[in-house]
A and B are shown apart, each in its own frame.
Chain A
Amino acid sequence: MSLKPNAKVVLEVRDLQTYFKTDAGIVKAVDGVSFKLHEGETLGIVGESGSGKSVTNLSVMRLIPSPPGKVVGGEAIFEDRDILSLSEKEMRSIRGAKISMIFQDPMTSLNPFLRISTQMVETIRLHNKELSRQEALERSIEMLRLVGIPSAEKRVRDYPHQFSGGMRQRVMIAMALSCNAKILVADEPTTALDVTIQAQILELIAKLSAKMGTAVILVTHDLGVVAGMCDHVCVMYAGKIVERAQTATLYAKPAHPYTEGLIKSVPRMDTSKKGERLYSIEGQPPNVIDLPPCCPFHPRCPKAMEVCRHAYPPLRDLGSGHEVSCWLYVDEKERVYE
């Protein structure tokens, strides 16, 4: 949570489009997403299931199964190169070393047949060829200590099933940061964990990213987690970023009706009153197959206008990096459609 002014941009994603071919039609899971990630920043990506937040990150990591999925457009600039156009071999030297990722379910991301030591040494030596097996093992133990695993030198010999859910996620974080990654992509890292363990893991991610200067992309559906962790937030809906702002601004003055509804519909421990009805966004999230060129939120939007049914709203800057894609913020004269 310590973003310096004029921090360098480490990753810039421009107009990313990832489509999936299905029998029912083309699913535009991610459709024109752009964002910048600065050095030392924690960027939150929030959205409901199916909004494309995970696919965005998998596309950047080049982990989209193809077929059926395909990155059909856009670029992702990392260290002056577009990583979307790199060869698989070049990508392999970045993935896991400079950009690493942790997932929601730590059990399915660890190999149950291999000891933690084997898996960590493999990762470390793959990216640091000059290290010996012994040196890599020492580095693994050091990393496990850093993430707070007690008696790390013994536990490194254990298998994944011998760890609890929270401990496994710690192992994943240790592994992800073992090559001094520049960017850590955390895809719902605490969704499978209990609140008390979630608090431990979030604190660990915040502490380590500050210490090692890692930029973090935190994907979550939990607005509470975002509030405590992130500098900037992108809100996704139906494959597009509908609003982007500094965390404080977004919660204080949400501009997009969807963001506003989302924030209001979460029951809150501190302010909500007993018996009060919750605000709710009526209807269901849209099916992203063959979306017509309109605002995808208009059927659920309390402020929908005629223009929303006919054209997708352009992105408008409301000042100090607060951007929103909604016709409400477009000048009346410019609300034209064919």
Chain B
Amino acid sequence: MNKQKPLLEVRDLKQHFPITSGAILQKQVGFIRAVDGISFDVYPGETLGIVGESGCGKSTAVRSISQLHKPTSGSVLFGGVDLVTADKETMLKARREMQMIFQDPYASLDPRMTVRSIIAEPLVIYNRRGLLEKPMSNIEIEHRVEDLMERVGLNKLFKNRYPHEFSGGQRQRIGIARALALNPKIILADEPVSALDVSIQSQILNLLSDLQKEFGLTYIFIAHDLAVIQHISTRVAVMYLGKFVEISDAVRLYDNPLHPYTTALLSAAPIPDPAIEKGRQRIILSGDVPSPDKERFGCYFYDRCPKRMPWCSCHIPPMFDHEPGHQVACWLYDPERDYHAVTMEEAVRDSASSQVV
């Protein structure tokens, strides 16, 4: 495990969106708990994969980290500064080192800008404000754009073209070049390969790992495809309803998944090999992901969990350290107590008494 100082420390990050009703007098009637208290560290040079189903809050999580949404509470420490409370000036400096790549390469590039101006835009903005390490002339910026285009595998002769002239994979390369322009330390990649075809997906995944080696980048990589996450990540966090349910080294998570949700997720993912698929036992979860608008007093996965116990219905599990570097939020792994024998009445009584205290 990494003994280095973490590059990014996220503590109890929460992002709640208000639900309003009423046409003229908007009244707040509740919250969507998109991200509901996540904590983790990211170490230099690693790739933290975040995996989960749609609506689990993985995209909101990275948007809160990069302050595209102001988080409801919690802290995001990056380079010794808490981004949640940082002023605009500090935030600008931090953004130089923290860039994003988005899912939809069609929506994330301005259709009226040429490739050159898209990639140069971060350089131009930071240059104008004097926030670059050393000021760049227009010609230097031009050269930098050409270098970046070549580095991500685009022909530099295409720099005066518009995004619509490129295919999905090429557009994603443009987005990557733009993210690299300011030499960031960390890149938050929000489903960068989900919109791409299989043959293009592997090109982009290879490019991202080459760039990581070359520039010593750190990634937070979001995907819903478990095989992609396994391929690219050194550590993996599994998210469900706004919370991390398990976080571990990639190898250990896939060899020995602990949380019942992780187990089900891994068994549901199809493997492209008919010989394996035929003999496979699937854990088919019943039901859908519940809506995150309710406040929950028990385990978030209780409704769908195949291994639920009465205790879980009214106690939110904390993160237990199962082994070094492998944490899981499930009462089955509480080292101090086995809850199988606890009846529903006892569980409810216990939860009521602890709330009074």
Task: Tell me the A residues contacting B by CB distance below 8 Å.
Answer: 1, 48-49, 164-167, 194-200, 203, 221-228, 247-248, 251-252, 261-263, 265-270, 272, 274-275, 277-282, 284-285
A280 touches B202 (CB 8 A): yes
Specify the chain B residue showing the minimal Cβ separation from A246: B274
Out of B205, B206, B276, name the residue touching A270 (CB < 8 Å): B276
Specify the chain B residue showing the minimal Cβ separation from A1: B278
Please classify the interface of chain B as helix (H, G, I), strand (E, B), loop, or mixed, using the class held by over half of its residues. helix
Q: How many inter-chain contacts with C-beta < 8 Å in the A-B complex? A: 134
Chain B hits for A48, CB < 8 A = 197-199
A197 to B224, CA, bound (A): 13
Chain A hits for B273, CB < 8 A = 227, 251, 268, 270
Given the known A-B contacts A199-B282, A277-B206, A279-B202, are A269 and B197 also in contact in the complex, defined by CB atoms under 8 Å? no
B206 touches A223 (CB 8 A): no
Chain A hits for B224, CB < 8 A = 194-195
| 13 pairs, CB–CB < 8 Å, chain A vs chain B | A194-B53, A194-B224, A196-B285, A198-B268, A199-B267, A227-B271, A228-B280, A265-B202, A266-B202, A268-B273, A269-B227, A270-B273, A285-B167
Task: Tell me the B residues contacting A by CB distance below 8 Å.
Answer: 53-54, 167, 169-170, 197-203, 205-206, 209, 224, 226-228, 230-231, 234, 250-251, 254, 264-278, 280, 282, 284-286, 288-289
Specify the chain B residue showing the minimal Cβ separation from A47: B197
Given the known A-B contacts A262-B198, A269-B226, A269-B254, are A228 and B274 also in contact in the complex, defined by CB atoms under 8 Å? yes
B197 touches A280 (CB 8 A): no
Chain A hits for B200, CB < 8 A = 284
A267 touches B227 (CB 8 A): yes
User: Which 7 pairs from chain A and chain B are nearest by CB?
Assistant: A224-B270, A267-B231, A194-B53, A228-B277, A199-B268, A265-B202, A223-B272
B197 touches A195 (CB 8 A): no
B265 touches A251 (CB 8 A): no
A195 to B264, CA, bound (A): 10
Specify the chain B residue showing the minimal Cβ separation from A252: B275
A251 touches B274 (CB 8 A): yes
Nearest Cβ in chain B — how far from A267, in angstroms?
A: 4
Q: Given contacts A166-B288, A200-B284, could you give 13 more A-B pairs where the C-beta distance is less than 8 Å?
A: A196-B264, A199-B282, A223-B198, A227-B270, A252-B275, A262-B198, A266-B227, A268-B271, A270-B271, A272-B231, A277-B209, A279-B202, A284-B170
Given the known A-B contacts A223-B198, A265-B198, A269-B266, are A248 and B274 also in contact in the complex, defined by CB atoms under 8 Å? yes
A196 touches B201 (CB 8 A): no
B254 touches A227 (CB 8 A): no
A164 touches B288 (CB 8 A): yes
A5 to B240, CA, bound (A): 45
